[in-house]
Homo-oligomer: A and B are copies of this chain.
Amino acid sequence: MPLRDRPPPAGHQELSAVHTKGKPTSFDIAHLTGVSQSTVSRALRGSPLVSEETRQRIKAAADQLNYKVDKNASNLRSQHSGTLALLLFEDPTADDSHINPFFLSMLGSITRACALRGYDLLISFQQLSDDWHADYADTKKADGIILLGYGDYLAYRDKLQKLAAQGTRSVRWGAVLPDQPDVSIGCDNFQGGQAVAAHLLEQGCRRIAFLGDASSHYPEFFDRYRGYVSTLREAGVQADPALQVDAIESTEQAGYDAAETLLQRDVPFDAVFAASDLIAIGAMRALADRNIKVPEQVALAGFDDIPMARFLNPPLTTVLQDTKLAGETLVDNLLSLIRREPVETHLLPVKLVVRRSSQYGPP
């Protein structure tokens, strides 16, 4: 009652018949080298239980037959996949080929961090409305999930809860909040907001508008806003509610619209702090459309330091988030989680990058 039709009857072991069909298996290597299949498996995975000489012979045979371990089989047996999944979620956008460049940078650094640690990366773009908890980890395609995206936190929060309840290992890029159900890693948005406000105050601005949602729906923007308010207050400047306009979508269009709204309110302002670079770009266009000069009439700053920020006209002052460190931190913490080690939330440092958009006078 054999479980498999191979191995062939003894005596055939040295025959090259093993080449004939399909991809070679560990049994083929075993026949070729005259050891058991278990030994082949051990040797190839670097087990110390195999003698050096045997290992060499087995590796040589494997190379010769171009043998590769079948991951589906090894994953099934060992119950882990050596794969992480990246879920990039976003508000549904009309033009679907435009992803926020900041997330694209993150994606790059996450991919590299995974590769360096010997993990593969599955990637998936999801609408916030999708049932994205029900995926990779459940089907055993991934050992853990990295969540990345802007969106209404209160709307996807129960999805996070569900993920956690199912025991799915996940880390999320985002604000670090007191009562969150998951592990999150984010940059110090509060400090970033402070840095921008301090810089704009230094430039002599006093009526600094904020473009971006300032509520717990968008905690990252909210923290940036709070940092800005706190620094203004320390400087004895009152944050005028008429100078805050929502721009929830972190797109150029949302930024344009928010700036328009601000302009229509007809309250004076001498600076604009946009909650993201994309919003800043839209605001820049709205100001240009009204012939308002940046930085001469209005100073402008963004957040993220996406690649195009330095190529804008004028180049955009913004807050650099270290995406390389962020990607590595996300991956390392997820791997800790997978190994069932204790993990804490992290707050990564940010750095103000001053460019011409916020500086009065010539560069």
| Interface size in chain A (residues, C-beta < 8 A) | 47
Chain B CB within 8 A of A336 CB: no
The residue among A70, A72, A123, A138 with the most chain B CB atoms within 10 A of its own CB is A72
Does A56 have its Cβ within 8 Å of any Cβ on chain B?
no
A166 within 8 A of partner (CB) = yes
- Mask of A85-110 contacts with B, CB within 8 angstroms, 1/0: 00000000000111101001101110
Q: Does A49 contact B (CB under 8 A)?
A: no
CB closest chain-B residue, reference A69: B139
Instruction: Judge whether A10 is part of the interface by a CB distance below 8 angstroms.
Output: no
Bound-complex Cα distance A324 to B124 (A): 16
Contact A108 B101 (CB under 8 A): no
By the criterion CB–CB under 8 Å, are A71 and B313 in contact? no
* A122 in contact (CB, < 8 A): yes
A311 CB contacts on chain B under 8 angstroms: 281, 308, 311-313
A206 sits at the interface (CB 8 A): no
Check: A177 CB closer than 8 A to any chain B CB. Answer: no
CB A90 to nearest CB in B, in angstroms, measures: 11
This chain: copies in complex: 2
Looking at the complex, which one of B76, B121, B312 makes contact with A122 (CB distance below 8 Å)?
B121
- Among B96, B122, B166, B324, which residue has its beta carbon within 8 angstroms of that of A97? B324
A242 within 8 A of B: no
Check A159 for interface membership: any CB of B closer than 8 A.
no
Question: What 0/1 pattern do residues 301 to 313 of A give for CB contact below 8 A with B?
Answer: 0000001100111
Asked whether A140 is an interface residue with its Cβ less than 8 Å from the other chain, the reply is yes
A66 contact set on B, CB distance < 8 A: 138, 166
State which of B1, B101, B139 has its C-beta within 8 Å of the C-beta of A307: B101
Contact present for A97 and B323 (CB under 8 Å): yes
- Interface contacts beyond A111-B125, A112-B125, A312-B313: sample of 6 additional A-B pairs, CB < 8 Å, sorted by A: A72-B76, A96-B324, A115-B125, A311-B311, A311-B312, A313-B313
